[in-house]
Amino acid sequence: MSAELNPSERTSVELFAGGGGLAMAVHRSGFRPLLLNEFVKYACDTLEANGAVSRGEEELIPELEDPVPLVRGDIRDLKMGYLEGAVDLLAGGPPCQPFSLGGIAKGDEDKRNMFPEMFRAIREIKPKAFICENVRGLLRPSFKPYFDYIVRELMFPFEERAPEASWLQHDAILREKERKDETKSSERYQVLMFPVNAADYGVPQIRNRVIIVGFRGDLDIDIELLKVATKPTHSKLALLETMASGEYWERHNSIEGRAKIPSHVIKHVMNEAEIALPFEEGTSGLLPWRTLRDALAGDEITRPLPDIPWNKLDRKQYDNMPREHIGWPDARIYAGHTPNVLDRPAKTVKAGVHGVPGGESVMLTDTPVRGTRTPREYRHRYMTVRETARVMTFPDDWKLCGPRGEQMRQLGNAVPVLLGQVFAKAVAAVLDDVQKRS
């Protein structure tokens, strides 16, 4: 997905590619993409702006030096059999629209549910492994029976569902196959499910998701290696420790190009977080959660994002500002629509622009509201597209296409790159281990 990345012997296919978050993560983890598929026009434009090229009608497997082939359009029209035996990792986040309790009872499903296409892709491609990402809501009690059915379908993808059968009828067949355990190993997958919070993996955002990983049954995989490789690396406790010790504040106050944090902000945050008392050093054993302030400040690779002046909330791209770092007017906060705060991970980025339920696209700043006796109230504004991309751990040179609303939609639907990398690298490590022992 990016010219500076070196292709490897491992290969991948990305379905439901969106704005490229999971595809980028998989590529960065050492997999050479053989195919991308996406339906939404602006998301396809984004993929092409970052190096993918239209495959056209010819079914071809790209050479090492070739750009990534992109097929625009409905996955239901995409034939993938030509990739059989050539793919190590199939990745994607199939849209899985919710349906009612009544629908579950009747076996009725939303036609926008794309998991059946993921099952078909596994049948046609027969990858060594797959990664599926989706919302944590799949695990809610009202949906859990259907989620368990999805997992069983991923375990036995070659047991196709009859067109006239309800999912409940098909699930009964899969349950029986699971009970008998007689399916040929090359036609079943070992499936593991991981409920995750992206903040626990270094993403500056509270983002609860479920990640499903599967390996073809004829591979002798080390499950413990996978579990160790996907353990959380960051924690809330470690963040509180750095705040209580002062390290967090000192680090930010020493960043060139960023304004110093006012003492009243520090006092307010410390009081709100109830962390005035010190912690024993190293009690968590993990790295600190990254905050919204951390994301805006950058790191050893990315430069700090400049503040948006209050008189520049005017929808204009200024020459002295980074790409898509554009101020937007008329942000509001009210009951039930509360903003992001700088010294916590951001709220979950959602696929919307303004009026997103919960205020996920609004942020408080360090600037007090004029006229207050004490600086306990702070001004707020919309987050820019570039700030939102930072929260999703997209690199600053990743180009997003379309109007602002479509760019934000792509980010809200994406997998944070850092989270995707954790699981893609874990899959790579497991496959490498299999190869070494074979």
Chain centre distance of CA 173: 33
Neighbouring-strand partners of residue 193:
212
Residues assigned a catalytic role: 96
Nearest by Cα to 416 from 15, 22, 13 = 22
* 357/360 Cα distance (integer angstroms): 7
Evaluate whether 149 touches 104 at the Cβ level (below 8 Å): no
* 291/206 Cα distance (integer angstroms): 10
- Residue 86, CA distances (Å) to 126, 168, 281 in order: 9, 33, 49
Burial of residue 371 (number of CB atoms within 10 Å: 0-12, 13-18, 19+) = exposed
Radius of gyration of the chain measured on its C-alpha atoms: 23
Pairing of β 129-135 and β 89-92: parallel
Q: Where are the alpha helices (DSSP H) in 67-133?
A: 101-106, 115-125
**For residue 18, how many C-alpha atoms fall within 13 Å in the half-sphere facing its CB?**
26
